[in-house]
Structure 1
Amino acid sequence: MESLTFLYVAGVTPGKWIRRWEERLPDVVLEHRLVDDDVAATLAALDAGEAQLAFVRVASGGAAALRDDRFVISLYEEQQAVVAAKGHEIAAFEELSPEDLAGETFFDNSPEGLRALGGLETALEVVASGAGLLVLPMPAARHMNNPEVVARRLNGAEPTEVVLAWRKDADSELIQEFVGIVRGRKADSGRQPSVNREQQESAAKARKTRSAVAGAHGSQKGGAQKGRAGGKAGGGKPGTGKVGGARGSASGRGKPPSSGRKGR
Structure 2
Amino acid sequence: MVNGKGSRGRGGAPRRGGPARPVAAGRARPAKKSVSRPAPPPREEPRTFVLGAVPGATPGKWIDLWRERMPHVSLELREITVEHQRAAIDDLDAALVRLPLAASEDLHVIEIYEEQPVVVMSTDSELTAADELALADLAGQVVIAAADDVLHVVVPDAVPPAFAPPGDTAQAIATVATGVGVVIVPMSLARAHRRRDVEYRILRDGPVSTVALAWLRENTTPDVEAFVGVVRGRTARSSR
Does the TM-score normalized on the shorter chain lie above 0.5?
yes
Cα distance, 1:35–1:188 mapped onto 2, change above 3 Å: same
> Contact 2:146 / 2:167 at 8 angstroms: preserved in 1?
no
Tell me if 1:149 matches 2:194. no
- CA shift for structure 1 position 164: 0.7
2:179 — aligned with what? 130
Q: Residue 118 of structure 1 aligns to a residue in which SS?
A: coil
Match for residue 43 of structure 1 among 86, 93, 108:
86
Per-residue Cα deviation, 1:138-173 (whole angstroms, up to 9, x for no partner) = 122112222221110001112111111001121101
- CA shift for structure 1 position 9: 2.1
2:104 and 2:191 map into 1 onto residues whose CA distance is 29
- CA shift for structure 1 position 96: 0.7
Tell me if 1:34 matches 2:75. no
> Contact 2:148 / 2:169 at 8 angstroms: preserved in 1?
no
- CA shift for structure 1 position 44: 0.8
Identity of aligned residues (%): 37
- CA shift for structure 1 position 10: 2.6
Amino acid across the alignment from 2:190: A
1:68 and 1:110 map into 2 onto residues whose CA distance is 28
CA RMSD of aligned residues (A): 2.0
- CA shift for structure 1 position 109: 4.5
Number of residue pairs the alignment of both structures matches: 183
1:87 and 1:154 map into 2 onto residues whose CA distance is 18
Gaps of 5+ in 2: 1-45, 153-163
1:150 and 1:3 map into 2 onto residues whose CA distance is 39
2:211 and 2:132 map into 1 onto residues whose CA distance is 22
Tell me if 1:73 matches 2:118. no
> Contact 1:66 / 1:72 at 8 angstroms: preserved in 2?
no
Per-residue Cα deviation, 1:168-213 (whole angstroms, up to 9, x for no partner) = 121101011011101111011121xxxxxxxxxxxxxxxxxxxxxx
1:92 and 1:3 map into 2 onto residues whose CA distance is 49
Cα distance, 1:172–1:151 mapped onto 2, change above 3 Å: same
2:52 — aligned with what? 7
- Mapping of residues 32-181 of structure 1, within 5 Å: 32-36=77-81, 38=82, 40-47=83-90, 49=91, 51-58=92-99, 62=100, 65-109=102-146, 111=148, 116-181=165-230
> Contact 1:79 / 1:137 at 8 angstroms: preserved in 2?
yes
Tell me if 1:184 matches 2:238. no
TM-score normalised by structure 2 residue count: 0.71
- CA shift for structure 1 position 16: 0.8
Match for residue 23 of structure 1 among 68, 72, 75:
68
Q: Residue 63 of structure 2 aligns to a residue in which SS?
A: helix
Gaps of 5+ in 1: 192-264
Per-residue Cα deviation, 1:81-108 (whole angstroms, up to 9, x for no partner) = 0111121111111101111111101012
